[in-house]
Amino acid sequence: MARVKVLLTGATGYIGGTVLSTLLASQSHRIRDISITALVRRQEQADKLVSSRVTPLIFRGLDDLELLERVASEHEVVIHTASGFHTASAEALIAGLQKRSMDSYYIHTSGTWNLAEASLAELDAQVLELTDNENIIKLEEELETQRPFPQRATDLRVMSAVAGSRVKAYIIMPPDVYGFGTGLFAKTTPQIEDMARDALKHGQAACIRNEDGIVGYVHVADLATLYVVLLDKLLADDAAASVSEGIYFCSAGTHNWKETTERIGKIGFRDSRLVSAMPKAISINEAAERWSGGDVRNLRMGYCSRFSTKPEKAMDLGWRPQKDQGDWLAWIDTSFQAALKKPGEG
Ligand SMILES: NC(=O)c1ccc[n+]([C@@H]2O[C@H](COP(=O)([O-])OP(=O)(O)OC[C@H]3O[C@@H](n4cnc5c(N)ncnc54)[C@H](OP(=O)(O)O)[C@@H]3O)[C@@H](O)[C@H]2O)c1
């Protein structure tokens, strides 16, 4: 039987690189039988990625829509990890799959920030508990009419683009991702390290006054495993029909930003790098200046929202995250040490 051809974007990135290495390490006979085309922007990336199962293809970038559509039409599966925000590339990849005369699968990467504004509330408000068996697309539609957000708009466009066609779409929606990636290029995502670096710069960690944000986390290895578990299910004979389309949550737990910054404070004070173990309470505006380039809306979405995303659909597929709260807490320590080594950045 001909090998199933999978097109992957973002193979040099943190998530995409880890997805690629996890695909290549999979022992599933279905996954071992796929061939992978990895779209990359530079020759040196292609040179590092090429192998018997990976064919790198150099392209100009996600705005090269003609190429994306053409290349996607030559594959049965597209895994798009390069950006959750780039609507046109998602549309072009889906349009390419739609040129095929058979069922095909589009796996998209999004993020739970899309839902954050549903939970922004007063400090004593309940944590909003969402599961992916609810109609999350409808929630995204409602939020989008109130205030547009590109990553959310892309999800909605993905779902409307595939409607009524033979392309099935699966949107993986990670919360805060942490841990060392296993790809050949980007190994980390900067969020916690940047926060530690900011504490070092000011001599004290900081938390947002009168806010108590709670959000999910997932280790990048667990996240990548979900892509592989999903793909394996889609490739199994007769199983694809039972895999529901749409949003897939993948949170392995939640963390509280106040406690996260307290941990940074404790580590820094213990190591005589910070003047106090207690974070300094700062205003939302100051936090936005320090942590989100002055963007108060993004700051509130990332650090003030209070919600959890229970991954019921992923669990139904058999996905089980291996990393737990201890790994998350250890990551804060690791990130602090990394910030100490590169104090000038950020
Ligand atoms: N990281 C997180 O914590 C997190 C959390 C939730 C959701 N997400 C979602 O996941 C997506 C990917 O995140 P990530 O952390 O893996 O990002 P990343 O490490 O920055 O990787 C991005 C990848 O996409 C490629 N890429 C970016 N822009 C491109 C363009 N215009 N044309 C062609 N290739 C392009 C990069 O290629 P080069 O190597 O050539 O630059 C790289 O391979 C985000 O956009 C977001 O929607 C991420």
CA of 220 to the centre of ligand 1 (A): 13
| Helix (H) or strand (E) run with residue 216 in it | strand 214-219
Q: Is the CB of 308 under 6 A from ligand 1?
A: no
Using one digit for the tens of pLDDT, what is the confidence trace for 179-203?
Answer: 999 999 999 999 999 999 999 999 9
Ligand 1 midpoint to CA 83 (Å): 5
Confidence check: pLDDT of 346 > 60: no
pLDDT tens by residue, 62-95: 999 999 999 999 999 999 999 999 999 999 999 9
Q: Which two tokens stand for residue 81?
A: 């990890």
- Between CA 94 and CA 106 the distance in angstroms is 7
Ligand 1 closest atom vs CA 175: 6
DSSP bridge partners of 40: 58
Nearest to 11 by CA among 227, 185, 181, 231: 185
pLDDT in tens, 301-321: 999 999 999 999 999 999 999
Give the model confidence (pLDDT) of 104-146 as tens digits. 999 999 999 999 999 986 766 789 999 999 999 999 999 999 9
Tell me the mean pLDDT in the region 270-288: 97
* Residue 19 Cβ contacting ligand 1 at under 6 Å: no
Return the closest-CA partner of residue 311 out of 258, 246, 257.
246
Structure tokens at 151: 């990553």
Domains and CATH numbers, the chain: 5-179+216-254+308-321 (3.40.50.720), 191-213+255-305+336-341 (no CATH)
Please give the number of the atom of ligand 1 that sits closest to the Cα of 185.
39
CA dihedral 154, 155, 156, 158 (to 10 degrees): 80
2 CA distance to ligand 1 centroid (A)?
31
Q: Which atom of ligand 1 is nearest to 42's Cα?
A: 40
